[in-house]
Chains A and B, each alone.
Chain A
Amino acid sequence: MPGTAKFDFLIKQHKNKIYNYAIYMMKNVMDAEDITQEVLIRTWQNIDNFNFNAAKAWMMRTTHNLCIDYLRKNKISNTRVLQVNVEQMEEISDNSLAGNPGKVMIKNITDENIKTAIEHLPERIKSPFVLYEMQGFKYKEISEILDVPLNTVKVYILRARKQLQKELKVYAREET
């Protein structure tokens, strides 16, 4: 396949995956757009150098590395929109799991709530979670993209799921 056709195909296939991943990592659309643009340009520049089958992993790894670079350079503070109160969390855990689970049952989770909750996950567990749950990557692919062992990926995803559940309970509690 010629370079241009190959590039167009790759753009079509992966542009939104890159963009969405960048949004969750950067927590803002502007930076996500910049990163996506940079990744696509780098893809074009290296179009003849990488294996077509490995292109997806290469692009996502580049995206991840660029996000990390941006975060380090810009020193984006991880100020949380919703500060999770530790005491509140403990109380919720006690009530929800041991006592009366229905009392703090998460109802009507909105897209915005869940997006914000995901955005606020710690980066280390957010990356594999977003790649697995939202982008549909497999454990092995995530392990290659993030350069971490396969079992670590599984552990991070589990932690992210638990953490997300806690965060959403805080939202549910605030709304009631």
Chain B
Amino acid sequence: MQEKKPENIDDILLEKIINTAYGDASIFVRIEVLWKASKNKKVKAILDEYKETAGAVHNINKNDLPDHVIENVKNETDQFTLRGKTSSKLSLLYTAYTNKKLIPVAALGMLLISIVSFLIFKEPVQHSKYTKADIELAQKQAIESLEIVAKVLQNTELKLDYEISDKVSKQLNKGLSVVNDYVTGG
């Protein structure tokens, strides 16, 4: 439906009037419209109508969101947080658990690798060919190789202990005592 406009008021002028009434016309447009309104009753009437509507629109009371909606949201988000926290705690526990077990697991892994490699590289077992003494010898060799691996691990541990707790800590203590002396002026 084509809106009918009064004489002398074209689309452009009507748009300017509306924008002026709603307060978002530029200063020049506003001056132009106000000047035309002072000269033309029709323009003034339209401007007043739109001004009243614009005023009413801008002064409409806003509704406040009911508290129960926020409560519902909080409950939902708390559950979400709780789930998130639980899962993160579990993952932390798992990580801690796996970290604590890291050294024994590594040692066990090495042992397993050595056993497997021992079994692979060893000649295939042919029960019929070997005597009881041969089997005992093989068992003894296996035990010896495991002992070697264990000894290597133990030596590594001792060396680490010595390096870190003894050598490094001694050097650190020395350094700190130098700093202390310097600070206290001793």
Contacts and interface: CB of A to CB of B under 8 A. Distances in A.
A44 to B, nearest CB: 5
Interface in A80-131: 86, 89-90, 93-94, 96-98, 101-102, 105-106, 109, 111, 114-115, 118
Contacts of B56: 109, 111, 114
A98 B6 contact: yes
A19 B65 contact: yes
A105 B48 contact: yes
A15 B73 CA distance: 11
A4 B61 CA distance: 30
Given A33-B69, A105-B48, A168 B80 contact: no
A7 B7 contact: no
A93 B60 contact: no
Contact of B1 (A7, A19, A44, A89): A89
Size band of the B side of the interface?
35 or more
A44 B69 contact: no
A40 interface: yes
B62 A16 contact: yes
B81 to A, nearest CB: 8
Interface string B1-39: 101111101000001001100100000000000000000
A11 B74 CA distance: 11
A44 B77 contact: yes
Contacts of B72: 37
A116 to B, nearest CB: 11
B120 interface: no
Contact of B60 (A11, A44, A115): A115
B45 A102 contact: yes
A11 B5 contact: no
A148 interface: no
B157 interface: no
Interface of A: 4, 7, 11, 15-16, 18-20, 23, 29, 33, 36-37, 40-41, 44-45, 86, 89-90, 93-94, 96-98, 101-102, 105-106, 109, 111, 114-115, 118, 133-134, 158, 161-162, 164-166, 168
26 contacts: A4-B81, A7-B77, A16-B64, A33-B69, A36-B69, A40-B73, A41-B76, A44-B77, A44-B80, A97-B4, A98-B6, A101-B6, A101-B46, A105-B48, A106-B53, A111-B61, A114-B57, A134-B57, A134-B62, A158-B15, A161-B18, A162-B3, A162-B18, A164-B53, A164-B57, A165-B49
